[in-house]
Amino acid sequence: MKICVYPGSFDPITNGHLDIIDRASKVFDKLIVAVLVNPGKNPVFTLEERVQLIKDSIGDAPNIEVDSFSGLLIDYMINKNSKIIIKGLRVVTDFEYEFQMALLNKNLNPDIETVFMMTNSKYSYLSSSMIKEIASLGANIDEFVPDIIKNKILDKFNVRKG
């Protein structure tokens, strides 16, 4: 069984992430969305909130698991019996950072492969940080996150508009 892991901060999940989750879950037998426990990065959403927003967004998907991890990704991969890391690439500027991480992980464990998916062009400019910024300033985020979590995000910034 081909199990892949899609790691990230997901602070919060966006339609861009969901596009990758949807497509990767069709290519692999099982997809694990792994949320990094990253207090150092000072996330706006707690780990529990980030996990719940993902669960709410994906609904009932039999081959998708939502989990969290701390420590090295490659150690988590071994625990989960997975050898495939899934990453989304949006714009050229993502490439250098992702290339570095992929090579580093390859060096740490040569058995683990990083597979990149190009994001849907609709979402190529989308990032969690921009969504947080515009949501906190009261902009409409309808196009960027699923309806089901939109109000939870707006509530976080006290800008729910009904």
CA distances from 135 to 38, 116, 127, 151 (A): 22, 29, 12, 10
8 binds ligand PNS (CB under 6 A): yes
3 binds ligand PNS (CB under 6 A): no
Minimum CB distance to ligand PNS smaller for 104 or for 115: 104
Report in angstroms how near the CB of residue 36 gets to ligand PNS at its nearest. 4
What's the rounded Cα separation, in Å, for the pair 45 and 47? 7
88 binds ligand PNS (CB under 6 A): no
Q: Name the nearest CA neighbour of 73 among 29, 107, 23, 46.
A: 107
Q: Say if CB 44 and CB 50 are below 8 A apart.
A: no
101 binds ligand PNS (CB under 6 A): yes
* Catalytic residue IDs: 17, 41, 90, 128
- Interface positions with ligand PNS (CB under 6 A): 7-9, 36, 72-73, 101, 104-105
